Amino acid sequence: QLQLQESGPGLVKPSETLSLTCTVSGGSISSSSYYWGWIRQPPGKGLEWIGTIYHTGYTYYNPSLKSRLTISVDTSKNQYSLQVNSVTAADTAVYYCAPYCFATSCYTRRAFGVWGQGTTVTVSS
Q: Which residues bind other proteins (CB under 8 A)?
A: 35, 37, 39, 45-49, 52, 60, 62-64, 96, 100, 102, 107-113, 115-118
Between 7 and 16, name the residue whose CB sits nearer to other proteins: 7
Give the C-alpha separation, 69 to 71, whole Å: 7
Q: Least Å distance between CB 58 and other proteins?
A: 9
Query: Nearest 5°: CA angle at 58, between 73 and 122?
Result: 55
Between 16 and 118, name the residue whose CB sits nearer to other proteins: 118
Q: Which residues contact 53 (CB under 8 A, 6 or more apart)?
A: 35, 36, 37, 59, 60, 71, 72, 73, 80
Q: Least Å distance between CB 97 and other proteins?
A: 10
